[in-house]
Structure 1
Amino acid sequence: MKKSLLFCGVAALAFASCTQNEVLDVNENRAIGFNAFSGKATRTVSDITGTGGGTFTQFNIYGSYKKSTGNAVNILTNEDVTYSSGWGYTNTQYWTDATYNFVAYSNGNAKIVYNEDENNISYTHDGGLTISNYNVATEKKDLVVATQTKTVNSGDLSGTIAPVELTFNHVLSKVKFTITPKGFPSYQTVKVTELKIRGSKTVGKFSSNGSAWSEQGTPADIVYAEIANINTTYTPDECYVLPQSLVDGVDVVFTVTVNDGNTDIMRKSFTVDLHNLTLSEWKKGNAYNYTTEITPQDVDSNIKEIKFTVNETVGWITPESDGSDDNVDQDLGL
């Protein structure tokens, strides 16, 4: 079995504030605006990608500032920022001379709502963003996060202040499996079913300070949907997983069934320890493609390939002892 590693790049995505709200006598140049950049993804069904919208249509932002004296002031709390013909938010804020901290996230273009019982999302000026009890097996979304600090001096307020540059990074890992049947006769149909990742930690806590995952919960299965018949290479959709060590034992299990057109003639379940493949962890923002070929012998060790050997006779007609030759040319008389 082979493995390959894909890294996510970066693609530009413009974003700016729009609606003025409540404050009517402030220089428009002082409105807080943003430029956002999202990681370019590989093939999948729900990655956040695109420029000027694309599949990236919403993120949420926290923002606060602290002057040289006094406590931090929160100005944006899980604020919706959406894309139509352009990016905008309704609770427009304006610059003052202070040091600002911003943290933005998008949970597959969805908002994570604060739940008092689970306390699953919170923010402080110095502590940053914390997302608790994030269950990757049930969310099944691309979670991206961006952080930025910006200091504005009093002299900056008379001119145009450049937008805040936000670079969104994918903070989960992605896993997919490429399974190729090899050596099966054309009349046989190969089916892969019951594919799942077993023993991975699926619930974790993310902190934007350090961009790290911690307090990962009890291991659980990540189950793929039923897989159709395959006669060529099969590559199911990628699966989002928590970045984590694999040394505690993370397996992939699946079943291969072979049908001859009338009945199932072979069936076998496979278990592969992913840590034994020399890869010790899934890293944040990386995508992993596990590849393998399945042969008839893998499914049934009693299956033996039909082989032929050949003996070559040189000068296949042997002259008779009386000098005659059985190799006689015949005139067809045409």
Structure 2
Amino acid sequence: MKKIMMMAAVAAAVLTSCSNSELIELSDSRAIGFETYVGKASTRGVPVTGNKFADGQSIKVWGFYTDSQMTGTTYDATATGIPNLEGAVITKTGGNWTYSPQAYWKNGKAHTFFASAPGEATATLASGVFSYTVQDEVANQVDFMVADALKNDKWDEASTPDPAKQVFAFRHALSQIKYSVGLTEVAEADASDVKVKSIKVEALAAGNDEAVAGFYTTGDIDIVGRTAGAGVLVWTNLSGENKAGYMVMPDAEVALGDAVAASSADYKLVSDATDGVLMLLPQKTVGNVRFTVTLSYTALKETGTPTKEVSVLINTTAAQTWEVNKIYHYKLGISMPQALKQKAIEFDDNNMTIEPWDATVNDTELAGNTPEP
């Protein structure tokens, strides 16, 4: 479908660090306690914003102890898992992070901790490397985050009877994709009450080919090998392509209203159920990305079937690159006359002519009159 315009606006969402740690008082000072900072709590599918968790939110923690601090860029094969901290879910309740049964410090041992969030995210950890698979259903996706490893020197019970509480700094690990839809042109007297029912996004094999290449859905993040607080997270070993694409379906159809100028900000955001947005594994697509926007509308000139549907295909003009911890907002402009396959009235200048003047000259001679005295 020609001349349908698509504009993409990209904005980076930068995680803001917070110097205010949340104090946690534990009944047993030898138990391992945790503190965190990053995002305000949210429901499933809704990205975390801000830099604090709220009550009811959870994280997942893994702990290991070794004879010396794990300082290298590779995992220490001699590390032993700390009992009760082998992917334990820790929940914030009443301002405190709690878990049961508790884990305890090992005297004379160095300790290393890893964490991911939220607690329901099905991430796995092996040798300091997180593996994660993005859910196919947008409503089931979460704002997956990982924390830098916490590497501690040996703990000595005699010199440090009250070990410090562990503080995690989480980082958003995925790319967030948003869509807005607007009418750039209406079909006068032919359609009204135009609404968005759904948006499907697919990665094409090459250019605008119909073949679908799919999105990568599984990847790894090496945590033990990265310098705490340095740079962005790096995904490797991308695999598990989702060839079906992702479908965003709002709880209620999104009304588009009247046509607006292509550059207008009056585009309507289309979110999935429970206000969820698409969370993608950071990647670069092979070919262009195709959006299929399904609309409902009232057919004014038809009787008996006033509500109809139409799907509009909109392709990007190039392959897309989505990076860690960034938001990509696509504005999809739709011409309803073109969506309804109406034909524009055009005029052909090549065949447009002007009839020349008649070359015959009709001469008329008029004689003057003698004026009266």
Q: Is the pair's TM-score, using the shorter chain for normalization, greater than 0.5?
A: yes
Q: Does 1:9 align with 2:22?
A: no
Please show how residues 107-118 of structure 1 align to structure 2 within 5 Å. Answer: 107=118, 109-110=119-120, 112=122
1:71 alignment counterpart:
78
Q: Does 1:62 align with 2:62?
A: yes
Q: Deviations over 1:71-108 (max 9, x none)?
A: 3221110112111102122213226444322111124x
- Shift in Å, 1:260: 4.8
Structure 2 CA distance, aligned partners of 1:253 and 1:72?
50
1:312 alignment counterpart:
none
Q: Structure 1 residues 171, 132: CA separation in 2 closer, same or farther (over 3 Å shift)?
A: closer
| Counterpart code for 1:147 | D
1:222 alignment counterpart:
246
Identity among equivalent pairs (%): 18
Higher relative contact order (CA 8 A, sep 6+): 2
For 2:285, which of 246, 249, 254 is the aligned residue? 246
SS of 1:10's partner is: coil
Paired positions, count: 285
Q: Does 1:121 align with 2:162?
A: no
Q: Is the 8 A contact 2:282 2:323 kept in 1?
A: yes
Q: Does 1:178 align with 2:180?
A: yes
Q: Deviations over 1:186-243 (max 9, x none)?
A: 9822123341012342531333436414232232221122634321632112211121
Q: Does 1:130 align with 2:116?
A: no
Q: Is the 8 A contact 2:40 2:53 kept in 1?
A: no
* Stretch of structure 1 that moved more, 261-270 or 72-81: 261-270
Structure 2 CA distance, aligned partners of 1:144 and 1:231?
37
Structure 1 unaligned segments of length 5 or more: list them: 113-119, 306-334
For 2:99, which of 60, 80, 89 is the aligned residue? 89
2:110 alignment counterpart:
99
2:148 alignment counterpart:
147
2:210 alignment counterpart:
none
Please show how residues 170-319 of structure 1 align to structure 2 within 5 Å. Answer: 170-184=172-186, 188-199=192-203, 200-201=214-215, 203-209=217-223, 211-218=234-241, 219-225=243-249, 227-231=253-257, 233-237=267-271, 238-261=277-300, 263=302, 269-274=311-316, 276-277=317-318, 280-299=320-339, 300-303=341-344
Structure 1 CA distance, aligned partners of 2:24 and 2:103?
7
- Shift in Å, 1:179: 0.8
Structure 2 CA distance, aligned partners of 1:136 and 1:96?
45
Q: Deviations over 1:262-296 (max 9, x none)?
A: 6469975332333x25x631112211100133234
Q: Is the 8 A contact 1:148 1:165 kept in 2?
A: no
Q: Structure 1 residues 10, 40: CA separation in 2 closer, same or farther (over 3 Å shift)?
A: farther
Q: Deviations over 1:88-145 (max 9, x none)?
A: 22213226444322111124x4153xxxxxxx7243xxx2143355434363222111
TM-score by length of 2: 0.64
2:37 alignment counterpart:
37
SS of 2:137's partner is: helix
- Shift in Å, 1:32: 2.9
Structure 2 CA distance, aligned partners of 1:17 and 1:41?
18
RMSD: 3.7
Structure 1 CA distance, aligned partners of 2:56 and 2:16?
13
Q: Structure 1 residues 40, 243: CA separation in 2 closer, same or farther (over 3 Å shift)?
A: farther
| Counterpart code for 1:191 | K
Q: Structure 1 residues 223, 154: CA separation in 2 closer, same or farther (over 3 Å shift)?
A: closer
Structure 2 CA distance, aligned partners of 1:183 and 1:63?
58
| Counterpart code for 2:10 | L
Q: Which has the higher strand share?
A: 1
| Counterpart code for 1:236 | V
Structure 2 CA distance, aligned partners of 1:203 and 1:135?
8
